[in-house]
DNA sequence: AACTTTGGCAACCGCCGCTTA
DNA sequence: CTAAGCGGCGGTTGCCAAAGT
């Protein structure tokens, strides 16, 4: 446990909310270890952070999940599994919102007593990459050094060999962020069906990634590279 | 009306990975 | 190189209101 002993737990009061909001507005997000001291709250850093991120942040949506949001949650959940579910791909939705929604609505629907068939089908999906990566600038294999196995292991359990040319932006990025951000200037790919909702998806395949071709339900890569682990054998849109 | 069950959600806990000294 | 600190995530719990009996 962190913070002083006898820290308050349980439901937050209106006064505590005000203190926390005032503190964040004054000092900004981050430095959570300093927030209890700065705000005068008798709460641990984690509690303060959680309260802000899940409840007090001004951009949080409180209305019901739209069908589009639900659809995205389901598809990405099937693609990725519980880990790194699409929490950050739904603007205005908190990780807790998405998690609670999945736990209370969708998990029952798909894994409950009536959902056995669906669960069986889901079990056949091979989760290629359960842990979308964020590339940190300081990691040695991104600094031009020869990648050490230990570095790679610590950065990503799913990797079997080091990168040679990870698609890294200057600031580092999560591939899922790129997947859905629809960055400008990235060339279009036509990997996905009918093009309707695919622009953002296709932006993921930029010039730094090996060209990918969809054959049937499977993406095949046209040339050998260290990026091969990124092959997909699932079709997101048929999930 | 009273009691029980169910559903939704806020919050906590434990762990992990990254950064920094 | 290593350990401590910190931020963040997934799993879980507990409370409360709504629905059901």
Select from A145, A142, A164, A144 the least CA-distant residue to A155: A142
Chain position carrying tokens 């029952």 = A108
In this structure, the protein residues whose CB atom falls closer than 7 angstroms to any atom of nucleic acid strand C are A 2, 30-33, 45-46, 49, 82-85, 87-88, 95-96, 99-100, 103
Supply A88's token pair: 């950050």
Q: Return all residues near A97 (Cβ < 8 A) that are at least 6 apart.
A: A54, A60
Low-confidence winner among A16-20, A139-143, A195-199 (lowest mean pLDDT): A195-199
Chain position carrying tokens 């048929």 = A238
Strand C: positions under 7 A of a protein C-beta atom? 5-13
Give the model confidence (pLDDT) of A22-62 as tens digits. Answer: 888 888 888 888 888 888 888 888 888 888 888 888 878 77
Task: Give the residue extent of every domain in chain A.
Answer: 14-56, 67-124, 140-238
- What are the two backbone dihedrals, phi and then psi, of residue A187, each rounded to the nearest 5 degrees? -70, 150
Residue A125 pLDDT grade (very low, low, confident, very high; cuts 50, 70, 90): very low
DSSP string covering A22-87, please?
A: HHHHHH-S--GGGHHHHHT--S-HHHHHHHIIIII-TT---SPPPHHHHHHHHHHHHHH-STT-SG
- Give the pTM: 0.58
- What are the two backbone dihedrals, phi and then psi, of residue A204, each rounded to the nearest 5 degrees? -65, -35
Select from A163, A170, A232 the least CA-distant residue to A201: A232
Report the pLDDT value the prediction gives residue A53, as an integer from 0 to 100: 85
Supply A6's token pair: 């006898």
Name the CATH code of domain A67-124 (choices 3.40.50, 1.10.3470, 1.10.10, 2.60.120): 1.10.10
The distance (Å) linking the CA of A104 with the C1' of B2 is: 28
Domain A14-56 fold is Arc Repressor Mutant, subunit A (1.10.10)
Report the pLDDT value the prediction gives residue A135, as an integer from 0 to 100: 45
Measuring from the CA of residue A80 to each C1' atom, give the nucleotide at the shortest distance: C10
Own/partner contacts of A119-127, CB < 8 Å, gap of 24 or more, are A122/A78, A125/A78, A125/A79, A125/A234, A125/A239, A126/A233, A126/A234, A127/A79, A127/A80, A127/A81
Domains A14-56 and A67-124 share a fold: yes
């Amino acid at each position: 446990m962190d913070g002083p002993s006898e820290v308050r737990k349980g439901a937050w009061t209106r006064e505590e909310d005000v203190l926390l909001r005032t503190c964040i507005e004054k000092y900004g997000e981050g430095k959570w270890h300093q927030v209890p001291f700065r705000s005068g709250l008798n709460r641990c850093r984690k509690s303060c952070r959680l309260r802000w991120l899940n409840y007090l942040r001004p951009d949080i949506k409180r209305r019901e999940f739209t069908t589009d949001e639900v659809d995205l949650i389901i598809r990405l959940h099937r693609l990725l599994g519980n880990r790194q579910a699409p929490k950050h791909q739904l603007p205005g939705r908190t990780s807790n919102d998405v998690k609670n929604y999945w736990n209370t609505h969708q998990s029952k629907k798909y894994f409950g007593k009536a959902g056995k068939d669906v669960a069986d089908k889901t079990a056949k999906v091979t989760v290629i990459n359960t842990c979308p990566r964020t590339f940190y600038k300081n990691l040695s294999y991104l600094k031009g050094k020869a990648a050490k196995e230990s570095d790679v292991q610590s950065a990503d359990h799913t990797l079997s060999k080091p990168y040679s040319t990870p698609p890294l932006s200057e600031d580092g990025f999560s591939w899922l962020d790129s997947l859905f951000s629809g960055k400008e200037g990235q060339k279009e790919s036509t990997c996905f069906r009918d093009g309707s909702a695919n622009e953002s998806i296709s932006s993921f395949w930029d010039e730094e990634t090996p060209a990918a071709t969809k054959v049937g339900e499977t993406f095949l890569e046209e040339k050998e590279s260290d990026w091969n682990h990124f092959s997909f054998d699932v079709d997101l849109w048929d999930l």
